[in-house]
Chains A and B, each alone.
Chain A
Amino acid sequence: MTTPGTAKSVHTFTPKSYNGASFWKAAWRSITRKTSRIIGFAIIVLFTLMAIFGPYLYSSHLPINTNAIYAPISWKYPLGTDFEGTSNLALIITGARYVLLAAALGALFTVIFGTVLGLIAGYFVGWSDSIIMRITDFFLTIPSFPLLVVLSTVWNFGHPLAMGFILGITSWGGMARAVRSQTLSLRERGFVEAARGLGLSPFHILFREILPNVSSYIGMNLLTSITGCIYAEVGLFFLGVVPFHVNNWGVMLNMAVFSAGAMSSPDALPYLLSPLLALLLLTLGIVLFLDAVDEMFNPRLREDV
């Protein structure tokens, strides 16, 4: 029995036609689903803007003020100053470019090397697999950070491209391994058999059939590689590796601890805390955003609208 009330409110049921939400729309949905992810995204956007536009906001020679060495926080110097009176805020903003660019390039190289080698090894099993896996094992066994320190003395890492390249070379091992095992299991699946049966070229199979299925792993790894690369390059500069640039965050940390005595006296604290907090904030942003990336690339986690 329908009550009069409900009879009035019965509408014709018109289901929304399924448009096949595009990747970007779905991605945006996954970001906005939780506040934490929005915050993460905003932070990443902020730093990217800093990296791109930062150096343009200041003249290429930052002003020094020898009367304001290690000045306390004030309106003029929102984050204090360094050993020659340059505003720490200016240093952080102009230094973001190298740090982020090198990290992004490093993550890119890691993912490219790791994925390509992993796919090839996993698909074309046999001697190519063994050779690639031996090389991978080799790179996985060599202690990567000391290797980086040694390499940094042999080659100059002044250009972010060089730094990114070296970071990529030393860290693709884990990625290659994981992609290989995923490829190994995927190549037995029905759709790959079908593609082979259709006579599609191996490269088509690799890059159009298998690759999209590993993409979720790649996406996550891209972001985690970025954090790993930031850690490695800032660490290298912290340890005192050339080249020296005053606005490099790692160099700032090094100078704050070892020449300014920030750990022993509070005056130089802003000089220590500015790069520290910048790093923390950036890491926070990436970690929060990672959650969204997981959902973005993994269709099974997505709830459709």
Chain B
Amino acid sequence: MKNFLIRLVWRIFSGILMVLVIASLTFFLIRLMPGDPVSAQYNQLIMQGMTPVQAENQVKVMYGFIPDEPVGEQFVNYIWGLLHFDFGQSISYEGIGVSHIILNAAPWTLILVFTGLIASFLVGVLAGVISAIKRSSPTGTILTVSGSLLHGVPQFVMGLLLAYLFTTLWPILPFGAPYDSSINPGFNGPFISSLISHAVLPVVTYALSSYGGWLLTMKSSVITVLGDDFILASEIRGLKSSTIIGYIARNAILPLFTLFTLSIGFMFGGSVFIENIFDYPGLGNLLLKSIDTRDYPLMSGAFLLITIAVIAANIITDFLYTFVDPRIRR
């Protein structure tokens, strides 16, 4: 038990260190980008049709929100703030706290990606088992080929294709936005059904483009397990095939488990493309927007969130695995 705790503490410590290192690196990297928040905003206003003088006046206030201390000092302040869980203030939102903005955007991403992840996992695992068992029959080949094919298709290509098919060609689903803005949000039927119908396409896009990965991994895992003795023994004993499949599945799913928990970490990157195409105000869109407007604190905050999530998922995966796989536990 003591060993376990020491390992845990050590992992958490090195994780925090990694986070700080990445935070520092991104701090300097993003300031390498050409342009600055003011000229980005100025650009935006000109594109909207404002005259240069009007636009200049409007962006003047933003100057107040850009720190003008030397970079070194800004860096120290930033790291100090991080250690106090203060992510700074956004420039493009003129003073609103970064954590506030991120918290507002997070639910959209999490709901979308999490649902997509679970859907793709379920479909992929199921199809993987079937394609492994029936690997010499056409069913198996078709499943495998379709899986690897869809896996190779870029996400936004898939998204655009599905969007075209189901919103323009056969308009049965709405395009864009998390829900129909004419409906009042709340715990009522129309709102929830609007949420669901708007979420169908993004979730399906996500699921279709990633289930192939689960399928292929599960298939090879199942094939390995199928060769094990205890399966042969179960067949000889005459157990029901559903029980046998249950045994196979439980054993084969172990390596996928680590992948799954790791994927949860990457989930926080949102899906930049899906949110862009379907206009969801989630973390991916926030990241893109902050890069466009050169909003350094917001960018750092978004990057940091993803990094922390990935590192945390890594640590959790490592430790949970020992609980899940009895063979590793001593």
Contacts and interface: CB of A to CB of B under 8 A. Distances in A.
B110 interface: no
B22 A253 contact: no
A154 interface: yes
Given A279-B154, A279-B157, A149 B18 contact: no
Contacts of B175: 263-264
Nearest to A34: B141
Interface stretch (A8-16, A71-79, A175-183, A231-239): A231-239
Given A146-B303, A153-B34, A287-B149, A235 B156 contact: yes
Nearest to B277: A257
Given A141-B311, A257-B277, A239 B272 contact: yes
Interface of A: 36, 137-138, 141-143, 145-147, 149-151, 153-154, 224, 227, 230-231, 234-235, 238-239, 253, 257, 262-264, 266, 269, 272-273, 276, 279-280, 283-284, 286-288, 290
Contacts of B32: 154
B156 A283 contact: no
A276 B161 contact: yes
Contact of A287 (B152, B155, B160, B167): B152
B232 interface: no
A276 B157 contact: yes
Interface in B95-152: 145, 148-149, 151-152
With a 10 A CB-CB cut-off, give which of B272, B311, B314 has the most chain A CB atoms: B272
In which size bucket is the chain B interface? 35 or more
A142 B149 CA distance: 27
A154 B156 CA distance: 24
B273 interface: yes
B41 to A, nearest CB: 16
A80 B106 CA distance: 41
B291 A150 contact: yes
Contact of B30 (A150, A262, A287, A288): A150
Interface in B248-299: 266, 269, 272-273, 276-277, 287-288, 291, 299
Contacts of A262: 164
Contact of A146 (B34, B168, B287): B287
A235 B273 contact: yes
Contact of B307 (A141, A153, A235, A238): A141
A238 B156 contact: yes
Given A150-B33, A153-B33, A145 B163 contact: no
With a 10 A CB-CB cut-off, give which of A141, A149, A272, A288 has the most chain B CB atoms: A141
A234 B273 CA distance: 11
**6 residue pairs, one from A and one from B, having the closest CB atoms:** A231-B154, A283-B152, A143-B306, A287-B152, A153-B33, A143-B269
A156 to B, nearest CB: 10
